[in-house]
Amino acid sequence: MVDFETQYRTRTPASFRLYEEANRYLPSGVAGNGKFMRPYPVYIREAQGSKVWDADGNQYVDLLMGSGVHILGHSPRPVVQAVHEQLGHGTHLYMPAEYEVRLAEKICQHMPYIEKVRFVNSGTEATMMALRAARAYRQRDLIAKFEGNYHGQHDTVLISTLGTSGGEEYPSAHIDCVGIPQMVTQDMLILPFNETDYVASKIKEHAEEIGAVIIEPISAFGLGCVAAEVDFLKALREVTAEHDIPLIFDEVVTNFRLGLGGAGEYFGIKPDLVCLGKIIGGGFPVGGYGGRGDIMDKVVAKTSGVWDLTEQIFQSGTFSGNPISMVAGLAVIEELEKEDVYQSLDEKTERLKSGIVEMGEEFGFDLLVTGLSSFFQIHFGIDELRNKRDALREDKTISEMFHLGLRANGIIANAHPLFLSTAHSEEDVQAILEATGKVLSQMKPSL
């Protein structure tokens, strides 16, 4: 039987030593659940372009790319230069500065459905504040969200993302981990992803109670890079607009990944509020939320001499709009503006995805590759993936074995959305395909 774990351990003894040391100080030896990989993580010492190097000096082609942050690759020169220059002028100001104005201007220019935007420090904070703004605008508490959609880790939205409750056609709220109060579920309406008729009828039924509907246009971390169907999004837009319910697009992953216009432009759907993150910080901590000017002015902007917190939300943050994240994000967007990088990047990703599918067929695996643009995910044991109930039927054991095999053969990947960047070359694509073929060929005799 193939033993990828032995191969991996043989390759990464320094990472194992760091892992043992880290466990003395860090739960599971990492700073967040998403960083852990079995049997232990690879500890990285350097990252440049499409490559990372671990504590043992091994080189890898990186497919995680900072969890989707690095569309230009690791440490792109324009970003490094912009940050280096800013370091000499201040690392943290608290007071507003021109950089946040310029980044906001760029975002609103390219995503005209965002008329005004506020910066925060993470995607989780972005969704939390967008929901608060929507509830304040509507003066309603009920939030409608979709099974398998991941909107961060605050209590309101870590519901029915990782698990499910209720029937497939009639889902109910599922608390995804301990520590979340049961009472949170009282203000959640859980809906099945990509089920148009049911969703439209449920929103109509609860229209007078709903404060917001939040959705990932492409459900990434909780579902596996599954796009919302266009007719489904159109119906969702129609029913929410009919009842003046704010429709929130969670574009923490998709902003500037699908194109300069984000998911709203890609799908031709205009949301009321949008959540931003990842790429807009250029590799530094960031989040953002914004949308319709009337909503942002009514419940976010200061409209009188004092903040009226009976009408407006409270949102602030010591590091919100910090100059390092702002100049880094601005540098990334300016690079994306210089030429149409998206066509070549998307074509390169499509060649990689097609090659992986072909290898799955060659070695007799029931393998499915999902995704749009330059991000994707590899699944085993299913031939269709439209919603969370489909995802639960995936063979996680084979998936985990496959991704461990990739790491043992020089590719940083796990059962997680995977990303290409402009720094990935055709040689990198070929290296990924060669590693994929090697791993699948070794897996076949053991299954």
Per the residue annotation, which of 106, 113, 202, 250 is the catalytic one? 250
Q: Give pLDDT, residue 359.
A: 95
Residue 284 · residue 308 · CB < 8 Å = no
What is the spatial distance between Cα 445 and Cα 447, in angstroms, rounded to a whole number? Answer: 6
Q: Please name the residues in contact with 197: beta carbons below 8 A apart, sequence gap of 6 or more.
A: none
Query: Looking at the predicted structure, is the pLDDT value of residue 227 above 80?
Result: yes
pLDDT at 311 over 90: no
pLDDT at position 177 over 90: yes
Tell me what the mean pLDDT of segment 81-105 comes to. 95
240 phi/psi in degrees, rounded to 5: -70, -40
Which of 338, 365, 395 lies at the terminal end of a domain, its last residue?
338
Are 36 and 29 in contact by the 8 Å Cβ rule? The answer is: yes
Q: Do 244 and 226 lie in a common domain?
A: yes
Length of the chain: 447
CB 285 within 8 A of CB 277: no
Is 250 labeled as catalytic in the residue annotation? yes
Scan for tokens 């949102």, then name that residue.
Answer: 315
Residue 170 confidence class, pLDDT cut points 50, 70, 90: confident
Among residues 288, 306, 338, the one where a domain terminates is: 338
Buried b (16+ CB within 10 A) or exposed e, 186-225: ebbbbbbbbbbeebbebbeeebeebbbbbbbbbbbbbbbb
pLDDT value, residue 92: 93
Q: Are residues 219 and 134 in the same domain?
A: yes
Range 372-395 average pLDDT:
95
Tally of structural domains, the chain = 2
Same domain, 223 and 299: yes
pLDDT tens digits, 271-309: 999 999 999 999 999 999 999 999 999 999 876 667 788
Give the whole-number percent of the chain exceeding pLDDT 90: 92
Give the C-alpha separation, 174 to 172, whole Å. 6
Q: What is the pLDDT of residue 309?
A: 83
Same domain, 438 and 333: no
- Residue 150 annotated in active site: yes
Mean pLDDT of all residues belonging to the chain: 95
- Which of 106, 202, 278, 388 is labelled catalytic? 278
Residues 44 and 151 in one domain: no
Query: Which range, of 160-169, 186-195, 410-419, averages the lowest pLDDT?
Result: 160-169
For residue 1, pLDDT beyond 60: no
Is there a single domain that holds both residue 150 and residue 54?
no
What is the domain range of residue 55?
Answer: 4-75+340-446
Out of 150, 266, 289, 342, which one is annotated catalytic?
150
Q: What is the pLDDT of residue 447?
A: 63
Give percent of the chain above pLDDT 70.
Answer: 98
H-assigned helices in 243-278 = 262-267
E-assigned strands of 238-360?
247-250, 273-277, 287-291
Residue 442: is its pLDDT beyond 70?
A: yes
